[in-house]
Amino acid sequence: MEPVQPSLKFAHRLESAGFMATQFVFERLSLSVGPPLAATIARPFSPLVRKRAFKNLCLAMPDLTKQTQRRIITGMVDNLVRTSIEYTKLSELRDDPNQITIHNSEHLHTARAAGKGAVLISGHIGNWEMVRAACARLDWPPAIIYRRFNNPYFDAEARRYMRALDAPIFHKGKRGTLGLLRHIKKGGVAMILSDQRFSGAPYIPFFDVPARTSLAPAELAREYGAAFLPVRGIRRGRSSAFDVTFDAPLTIGEGTDGAYAAMQEVNARLESWIRETPDQYFWLHNRWGAHPINTLRSPHPESAPPRPAGQ
C-alpha cells in the first residue's frame, strides 16, 4: 500500500469534520438567513478563484472592463455559495410557490403526455437544482447523473440532499449511463448540464469561440423520441427566489449534422442566458480548453475549426 493513502483518508476526515460543523449550523437556519450569511462569509475569498474565471471571461466577453469582471466574479462566488446552502432546503424550495415561479410549464406537460420522456438541457447557471425542484412540484422530477465526490462523506451527503426530490440519481460512469438510458427509454425525464468540455467531441461555437461540446444529449433525445427542452433556473437578485423557465422543444434533424445543429442552438441559448446574468454563471470550468485557436478569440462562429469526418 502506498504511504500516501493514510494521509488522504485523514484529509477526508478533516474535510468531513469541517463540513459537518458547517452543515450543523446552516441546516438549522432559514432560507432568509442561511444563504446570505454564507455568501457574506465567503465574499472576501472571491479573489482566490479569479485566475481561471478572468481567463474565461476575457475569452467569452473580451470587451468587459476589469472592474466589471471583478463584479461578475464576486457575484459568481455569491451565487455558488448560496446554491450550496440551498441544497439543504430542496424540499422547502420545491413546495413554496413564492420561492420558485414556473414559466411555460405546458412544454413539460406536453412532453409527459406524449409518453416518450424528456431530456431537459441546461447549464451551470443560476441554481440548476431549482429546475429539478420545479419539475418535482409538477410531479415529474428528472433523473440526473453526476461525478462522484472524492470524499465518500461528501458524496453520501450530496446524494441524501438530492434524493429529497424523489428522482433517480446516477454516478457518472458506464453503470450510471446505462441507468439513465433505461430511465428515459421507459418514458422518464432526465436533466443534463451540457456546458462542460467533452474530450473528443466536435467543436461548436460558444460565445463565438470553438468549444468541444458533446452531441450525446441531442442524440439521446432523438434515439428515444424524447422531447428536447432547454430550461434554466435563474436567481432573482441576491435572494433564494427563482424563475424556472421551460423553452419549447428543439427539433433534432437526422444524423450527425442534425445533432450538431441542435447542440449549436443549445450553446446559443445558454450564451444568451449568461449574457443576461453573467454573475450567475460558473466561470471556473475549463470550458474552452487549450486549443490553439482559443489563444485568439474567434470573431465569428464560422471561425470554429471544421468538424472531423464522422463527428
Burial class (CB in 10 A: 0-12, 13-18, 19+), 67: exposed
Q: Which three cell numbers stand for residue 84?
A: 450550496
Any idea what DSSP says for residue 151? S
pLDDT score at 14: 74
* CATH code given to domain 4-303: 3.40.1130
Show Cβ contacts of residue 200 under 8 Å, excluding neighbours closer than 6 positions.
212
Reported pTM: 0.87
Q: Checking DSSP bridges between strand 242-246 and strand 100-103, what pairing results, if any?
A: parallel
Instruction: For the chain, give every domain's residue range.
Output: 4-303
Relative orientation angle of helices 66-86 and 50-60, to the nearest 10 degrees: 120
Q: Which residue has the cell 462542460?
A: 196
pLDDT score at 93: 97
Phi/psi at 144 (5° precision): -135, 160
Residue 204 near residue 54 (C-beta atoms within 8 A): no
Round to whole Å and give the CA distance between 25 and 50. Answer: 28
pLDDT score at 305: 42
pLDDT score at 17: 79
Q: Is 170 helix (H, G, I), strand (E, B) or coil?
A: strand
pLDDT 10s digits, 129-144? 999 999 999 999 999 9
Which portions of the chain are predicted below pLDDT 50? Answer: 1-7, 296-311
Strand segments, DSSP code E, in 124-275 are 144-146, 169-171, 189-193, 203-206, 209-212, 227-235, 242-246
Q: Checking DSSP bridges between strand 118-122 and strand 227-235, what pairing results, if any?
A: parallel
pLDDT score at 293: 57
pLDDT score at 302: 37
pLDDT score at 224: 97
pLDDT score at 279: 97
